[in-house]
Amino acid sequence: MRLIREFEEHCLEKALAGTIVGGIHPYIGQEAVAVGVSAHLRADDVITSTHRGHGHVLAKGADPKRALAELYGASTGLNRGRGGSMHAADVGLGIYGANGIVGAGAPIAVGAAWAARRAGHDDRVAVAFFGDGALSQGVVLEAFNMAALWSLPVLFVCENNGYATSLPVDRGLAGDPVRRAAGFGLTAAAVDGMDVEAVAEAAGQAVAACRTGAGPHFLECATYRFHGHHTVEHLMGTKYRDDDEVAGARARDPLTRQRARLAPEAADEVDAEIAALIAEAEAFASSSPGSDPRDALDYLYAGTVPARPGA
C-alpha cells in the first residue's frame, strides 16, 4: 500500500507539473483493494484493470521503475511509451492492462479464465477490477452471466468509491451491487474496502474457492478516492463532494489503519524502503530515452502490414 501511495503522490505531482502528459486517475485512498486482492494472486493469474489502474498494476508485481517510465512516455516503460497511465500492462505478469473504457476488462478476464480452463490450468484465476460505474455497463453484466453459466474461476472486484466520475452512486445505480451479482449466480459479498486485512480475508476465501472450481465470485469493496476522478479536476476546480465527506474518508485512511497494526519500527522500515524505490524509479524514468517519432506506429501489428503515411 505504501508503494502505491508514494508512487501515486509522486505521479500526482508530476501530472500537475505537466511532466506526465494526459494526467492520471489517482487511486489514492483505494490501495487496500488492490493489495488485499493481489496478496492471493500468483504470477500466472490474470487481472484486468480500470482507468485508475496504477494500484492494480503495482500490486500484481509490475516494476515501479518501468511503470513510472511508461507514464513519462519513455521507451523503457512497461508499454514502451505507447500505453501511458490508462493502458499500463505487463502481460507476462498476467496484467492484461488498465483500460480506458469503463467495464471493458470484465469480459476479457472471463476470456482469460475460459482459455486457462481450455489449456488445462484449472486453478488459474482471473480477476476483473472495475468501479461502481461499470455496474451500469451491459458488457459487465453479460460477463457475469457467462462466467456463471460456465462456472469459470473469475473474481469480479467492484471498487465502489461512491462516484462514477462526478455522479454519486445512488444517482447512477439501481438496487444493491451484491444482490445484483447474486442474481446472476455469483457468490457475492461486501467488504470494507478501506481495511486491507478485511479485503485480504474476503478475497482470500473467494480466490481459494475459484481455484477449486466453485465458480465466479463477486466482491464489493466500499472505498473512497481522496482526489478527483482525474487530475484535470484540480485544474478546473471541479467540486461535487463536500469537505466533510472527504475528511471523513481520510480519517479512515487504509494506510493509517494498517500502520496502527504494525510495530513502529517495521512501519518505518517500509517507509524507508519505499522512499528509496520511488527515488530509484524517478531516476530511472527521468533518465530514460524517449521514442523516435518515426517509430510511432511500431507494434501496431504483430504480422507485417506496411502502414501508408497519413501525409
Partner 1 sequence: MPSLSYVAAVNRALRDEMARDERVCVLGEDVSQGITGLTKGLADVYGTGRVVDMPLSEQAFTSLATGAAIAGQRPVVEFQIPSLLYLVFEQIANQAHKFSLMTGGQASVPVTYLFPGSGSRSGMAGQHSDHPYSLLAHVGVKTAVPATPSDAYGLLLSAIREPDPVAVFAPTLLMGASEEIDDGDLAAVPLGSARVCREGTDVTVVAVGHLVPIALQVAAALAGEASIEVIDPRTVYPVDWETLGKSITRTGRLVVIDDSNRMCGFGSEIAATAVEEFGLTVPPMRLSRPDGAVIPYALNLDHALLPDAGGLVGAIRAVLR
List 29, 53, 55, 111, residue binding partner 1 (CB under 8 A): 111
Nearer to partner 1, 92 or 168 (CB): 92
List 37, 126, 169, 203, residue binding partner 1 (CB under 8 A): 126
Nearer to partner 1, 124 or 257 (CB): 124
| Site stretch for partner 1 (CB under 8 A), options 49-57, 96-104, 182-190, 279-287 | 96-104
Q: Using the rule CB under 8 A, is 293 a contact of partner 1? A: no
**Least Å from the CB of residue 142 to partner 1:** 3
**Least Å from the CB of residue 239 to partner 1:** 31
List 20, 28, 47, 89, residue binding partner 1 (CB under 8 A): 89
Nearer to partner 1, 23 or 111 (CB): 111
**Least Å from the CB of residue 210 to partner 1:** 16
Nearer to partner 1, 137 or 238 (CB): 137
DSSP codes of every residue in the chain: -HHHHHHHHHHHHHHHHTSSTT-----TT-HHHHHHHHTT--TTSEEE--SS-HHHHHHTT--HHHHHHHHTT-TTSTTTTSS-GGG--BGGGTB----SSTTTHHHHHHHHHHHHHHTT-TT--EEEEEEGGGGG-HHHHHHHHHHHHTT--EEEEEEE-SEETTEEHHHH--S-HHHHHHHTT-EEEEEETT-HHHHHHHHHHHHHHHHTT---EEEEEE---SS-SSTHHHHHT---S-HHHHHHHHTT-HHHHHHTTS-HHHHHHHHHHHHHHHHHHHHHHHTS----GGGTTTTS-SS---PPP--
List 21, 42, 92, 247, residue binding partner 1 (CB under 8 A): 92
**Least Å from the CB of residue 130 to partner 1:** 13
Residue 291 one-letter amino acid: S
List 175, 306, 309, 310, residue binding partner 1 (CB under 8 A): 306
Q: Using the rule CB under 8 A, is 101 a contact of partner 1? A: yes
**Least Å from the CB of residue 307 to partner 1:** 8
End-to-end CA distance of the chain: 47
Q: Using the rule CB under 8 A, is 311 a contact of partner 1? A: no
Backbone angles phi, psi at 155, to 5 degrees: -105, 115
Q: Which of residues 134-193 bind partner 1 (CB under 8 A)?
A: 138-139, 142-143, 145-146, 149
Residue 176 one-letter amino acid: D
- Which of 14, 17, 18 has the alpha carbon at shortest distance from 54? 14
- Determine the Cα–Cα distance for residues 51 and 28; give it in Å rounded to an integer: 13
Cα 248 to chain centroid, rounded = 23
**Site pattern 9..48 for partner 1 (x: CB under 8 A):** -------------------------------------x-x
**Least Å from the CB of residue 104 to partner 1:** 6
Q: Which residues of this protein are in contact with partner 1, per CB under 8 A?
A: 46, 48, 77-83, 87, 89-92, 96-97, 99, 101, 104, 106-116, 118-119, 126, 138-139, 142-143, 145-146, 149, 297-303, 305-307
